[in-house]
Amino acid sequence: MGSLLQTQVEVCLVVDGLDEIPRPRAASLFRQLAAVVDCWPNAQVLATGRPVELAGVTYETWGLSRLNRLSDADKRGIFQAEAVADGCVVS
């Protein structure tokens, strides 16, 4: 990744499930991910986790996004898209 960053290639690092690791590790990972963005202007980080399960982890300086609740139709659409991606025929 270092060579990509040095050649000014846009890099997006996605970290999913921070709420599934112990809070001290999540906090450490947040600090390290913030350092990547601070040191490399062509790097972006998208980290996901449930805020209620990340209580005590400092992420105030991060841009936060919250999703609205999914409707039943939205949920059905996600499952159908996943089925199509798995090669199933959806009617």
Could you read off the pLDDT of 21-36 as tens digits, one per residue?
Answer: 888 888 888 888 888 8
pLDDT grade, residue 40 (50/70/90)? confident
pTM reported for the whole predicted model: 0.56
Q: Which of 57, 30, 26, 66 is nearest to 45 (CA)?
A: 30
Q: State mean pLDDT over 41-70.
A: 74
Question: Are 39 and 6 a contacting pair, CB within 8 Å?
Answer: no
**What pLDDT shows up at residue 25?**
87
Domain extents in the chain: 2-85
Angle at 22 between CA 20 and CA 56, to 5 degrees: 100
